[in-house]
Amino acid sequence: MQKPNVLLIMTDQQRWDTLGCYGNTVIETPNLDWLASMGIVFTAAYTSTPSCIPARASLITGMDPWNTGILGMGRGQPPMGVNFPHTLPGELAQVGYHTRGVGKMHFDPQRALNGFHHTVLDESGRASDPGFVSDYRQWFEQHKTGDYDIADHGIDWNSWMARPYHAPEFLHPTNWTVSESIRFLKERDPLKPFFLKMSFARPHSPYDPPSYYFDLYLNKRLPKPSVGDWAAAHNVPEEAARPDAWRGVRSAEEILRARAGYYGSITHIDHQIGRLLMFLQKKGLLHNTLILFTSDHGDMLGDHNLWRKTYAYEGSAHIPLIIKLPATFKREVTAVDRPVCLQDLMPTVLETVDVTIPPTVDGQSLLGLMQGQERPWREYVHGEHSTCYAEEQEMQYLTDGKMKYLWLPRAGQEQLFDLTRDPYEYHNLADDPDYGQVLALWRSRLVRVLKPRHAGLTDGDQLVSQAGQPFLISPKYAERMRAIERV
């Protein structure tokens, strides 16, 4: 019997609370809600490094950020690169899968395969390699109906600004990503199971859905930003003035448009995902396909006067995760509240399709949790991000989905949130004497996580301030690149 097919659907910068199946009563996501009804929803899924490159490196390798060597997209951090000892598409290709990556990969070099047989790329505005032109841009230039470019609406790739898409809907990268995915399914080797990573460039800015989807939310009562009693430090007007601001308060109208564009982008993606699911169903492939839906990180959307990502706060670090097992597997649960992370997806896929999990993988397979098995599980997820927008924003965090502890090593600050009572982190409990023992417990846990690195973050008993210290860089990336040179 042929192994199950594998479909990994990934959005870019989608926060966990923007799906109907996660309790959002405003947004329309019928196809993803349908997928959730057939599968398992993970309510405490987090990204260990909430920005594009490091999160995607952990997903594709199953390795913690320290071991991929990429701790963020900040100062001194390397690109994703190549020469990982094992990748998810590489392991599947070795056992007979036909593998394809469609959309945003964020590899370096951009045409690197990292285990895929082939990639068809939409890299938004990135052209880091000499002469690189993405497949989407080439297609756009061939099919556009006028004299305009892919971003002539005037919105930056990291902006809070929003407006409807400036070109016909069929040219939108969201439509193109699904069309290319369906093309692969039509033209693939029918004698092999497939692994398809369908990776959208939205709802990451620009918030530019087609006008139908933008208008769908512009006049609705959308959730307003959550602003904690600790967030005044991020109300910085001179920084908010930037069109790609990472912090600061914009007007209520601008925030509404940003959220309407973001929500509209998600519903647009959902409708296009529906095209693919219908195709799989029509071809009789849906039942024997393992489907995973997730995102690399979230988007603050003005929460706590912050924009974009790289933070440990829920809007940035808490991500959606839905998994539908092949029909041959019995679903024992419909939701899982254990703390899980992107590193867990590679071992989950490999165990489900009966492929050996490489020893380099740090994540844990989620299959047992989905089948109701009592397996030992981690107490919490550890996450981090190097200095990116500003030194005070560098962070380390731990969460079990119920409590969250943050350490800002260059700012010398701790934060503690009770997510059960305060899911949007309005109240920092680090200075609350009633939570003193809880704070000490979580601090000691972070010391235990960081101690084996010998990177100066702890003396073995206490956390050590990083103010004025060199930027944190993992030695693992250099080790990987030296291995290439030896070859």
Catalytic residue numbers read: 52, 106
Element (H, E) at 98: strand 98-103
Q: How confident is the model at residue 45 (pLDDT cuts 50, 70, 90)?
A: very high
Whose structure tokens read 């945003």? Answer: 104
Alpha helices in 252-385 (DSSP H): 252-282, 314-317, 345-352, 367-370
Q: How confident is the model at residue 485 (pLDDT cuts 50, 70, 90)?
A: low
Whether residue 7 contacts residue 290, with contact meaning beta carbons closer than 8 Å, is answered with yes
Start-to-end C-alpha separation, the chain = 38
> pTM of the prediction?
0.97
Rounded mean pLDDT, 44-49 = 98
- 153-191 pLDDT per residue, tens: 999 999 999 999 999 999 999 999 999 999 999 999 999
Q: Is the pLDDT of residue 422 over 90?
A: yes
Q: How many CB atoms lie within 10 A of CB 179?
A: 15
Q: Please, which residues bridge with residue 398 across strands?
A: 382, 405
Q: Which CATH class is domain 5-379?
A: alpha beta
> How far is the C-alpha of 94 from the C-alpha of 85, rounded, in Å?
13
- 447-471 pLDDT per residue, tens: 999 999 999 999 999 999 999 999 9
Task: Please report, as a single letter, which amino acid is at residue 7.
Answer: L
Q: Is the pLDDT of residue 268 over 80?
A: yes
What angle, rounded to 10 degrees, do the helices at 252-282 and 30-38 form?
Answer: 50
**How much of the chain exceeds pLDDT 70, in percent?**
99
Burial class (CB in 10 A: 0-12, 13-18, 19+), 460: exposed
Q: Where are the domains of the chain?
A: 5-379, 382-486
**How much of the chain exceeds pLDDT 90, in percent?**
93
Cis peptide before 78 (omega within 30 of 0): no
E strands within 132-248? Answer: 194-203
Task: Please report, as a single letter, which amino acid is at residue 357.
Answer: I
Average pLDDT, the chain: 96
Supply the pLDDT for residue 462.
Answer: 97
Q: Choose among 319, 278, 270, 285: nearest CA to 194.
A: 285
Whether residue 323 contacts residue 366, with contact meaning beta carbons closer than 8 Å, is answered with yes
Which residues does 344 contact at the CB level (< 8 Å), separation at least 6? Answer: 62, 363, 364, 365, 366
- 326-358 pLDDT per residue, tens: 999 988 899 999 999 999 999 999 999 999 999
Q: Highest mean pLDDT: which of 6-10, 78-82, 374-378, 478-482?
A: 6-10
Burial 39-69 (b: 16+ CB within 10 A, else e): bbbbbbbbbbbbbbbbbbbbbbbbbbbbbbb
Identify the CATH number of the domain defined by range 382-486.
3.30.1120.10
Angle at 313 between CA 307 and CA 314, to 5 degrees: 100
Burial class (CB in 10 A: 0-12, 13-18, 19+), 163: middle
